[in-house]
Structure 1
Amino acid sequence: MSTHEATGPTGSTGWGPLQWTGAVLAWVWVGVPFGYGLYELMLKVPALFG
Structure 2
Amino acid sequence: MSTVQTVHPTSKAKLVVFWLYVMIPLAWGVINTLSQATKLFK
Give the TM-score taking structure 1 as reference length: 0.58
The runs of 4+ residues in structure 1 deviating greater than 3 Å are none
Q: CA deviation digits over 1:6-49, x for unaligned, max 9?
A: xxx65xxxx47xx1100000000000000000110111012233
Pick the structure with greater CA Rg.
1
- What amino acid does structure 2 have at the position aligned with 1:44? Q
Structure number with the higher helix fraction is: 1
For the aligned residue pairs, the C-alpha RMSD in angstroms reads 2.1
**Bigger relative contact order, structure 1 or 2 (CA pairs below 8 A, ≥6 apart):** 1
Question: Percent of aligned positions with the same letter in both sequences?
Answer: 22
Unaligned runs of 5+ in 2: none
Unaligned runs of 5+ in 1: 1-8
How many pairs are equivalent? 39
